[in-house]
Structure 1
């Protein structure tokens, strides 16, 4: 999440603002609970990764060779913790800019004694570009990204042709990009972008959406949405060899 224009330092010129990349998120302030603060203080030295450290050596970082899942924007980390706990044979790299969410995930990892989880707190696209080797990921997860409802904000949506190409480069042949959204117009938009993205195959039998995969945890927001009659759409696109 980035600063809004209202929060930018006044010393920046209009020319500097024009050079700023369009981000798919906005940084929002949030209070830290004691548990979240504990997660940052005690968990970051064990699980935290820095963008400035450059290319990531997965075997050295995790101390083993294992399938790798990269999650973009894990929110408060509930689903990430559940997935990591349920699949100890898989290594998870989560990226989130919201500090309370990072703290919550780290606190959960400490509490549950997880060892197959590492965390970045920065822009996930920067991590993919600067730290992740090509053809090194088995899965990329993008669950419930901001849909940016208004037409004038669609340029901020993370799912764009350039995003599809970047993820394709980082996936192994046969690797899967799994996306989910509770906003049907965004699901349709995702499907439109991914259906014409080179080097992918839609894993849905009907060429549209897959049934909710068992490995994706159901969030409390999803349960609430179901009670209100809202739907959730899952998309899985596999990198072609």
Structure 2
């Protein structure tokens, strides 16, 4: 009997086109080596190998509070927020190369140097590339809500992911979340309010 195909983890994204426009290609070529951290992959091109490891202090050239963003997109929030946290080392995960290229261009134009980008699944990266208790803040802004019920298993924010987050956050560390889908917001509250390792610092919804 043949061995069954290896199990694939459920991912929280669908891979879009990796085609870049001319501006993105220039930004990629110009800034890739400065900002992008290459990690070994497993079966999928967006996966992170089980034996992957990164010395973040060496990557940034300093010891500093560690902030992680999962799903940084084109850097619309990442770049200005990282600029406002020059005291911190900011690691961003994004799977879509054109979006990464746009982020690189923004970082270069704005002179923001305290960011490193990993082109990989952020949920795997969080679990495999960081020691427990080292992350000062985790940012998860406007993750795909997967609004159809049959797709809810793909939602990033849930009990299993919360277990990883609770382990990786430093004592007193913050997980900042935002969504513009009410159903997903309620889903987040349902799963995270019940988690023994996490406490809602706002005792309800965060103020706008």
TM over 0.5: yes
Q: Which of the numbers 119, 122, 126 marks the counterpart of 2:117? A: 119
Equivalent position SS for 1:174: strand
Are positions 1:211 and 2:207 aligned together?
A: yes
Q: Which of the numbers 66, 69, 72 marks the counterpart of 1:68? A: 66
Q: Which of the numbers 25, 29, 37 marks the counterpart of 1:49? A: 37
Aligned to 1:5: none
The structure whose residues are more often helix, as a share, is 1
C-alpha distance in structure 1 between counterparts of 2:125 and 2:27, whole Å = 21
C-alpha distance in structure 2 between counterparts of 1:55 and 1:93, whole Å = 14
Equivalent position SS for 2:160: helix
Question: Cα distance, 1:75 vs. partner?
Answer: 1.1
Aligned to 1:191: 189
Larger relative contact order (Cα-Cα within 8 Å, sequence gap ≥ 6)? 2
Q: Which of the numbers 50, 68, 79 marks the counterpart of 2:77? A: 79
Kindly report structure 1 stretches of 4+ aligned residues shifted beyond 4 Å: none
Equivalent position SS for 1:78: coil
TM-score, normalization by structure 1: 0.77
Q: Which runs of 5+ in 2 are unaligned?
A: 41-50
Aligned to 1:21: 9
Q: Which runs of 5+ in 1 are unaligned?
A: 1-12, 213-241
Are positions 1:175 and 2:173 aligned together?
A: yes
**CA RMSD, Structure 1 to Structure 2 (Å):** 1.6
Would you say the 8 A contact 1:56–1:133 is kept in 2? no
Aligned to 1:35: 23
Q: Which of the numbers 57, 60, 63 marks the counterpart of 1:59? A: 57
Question: Cα distance, 1:66 vs. partner?
Answer: 1.5
Would you say the 8 A contact 1:47–1:106 is kept in 2? yes
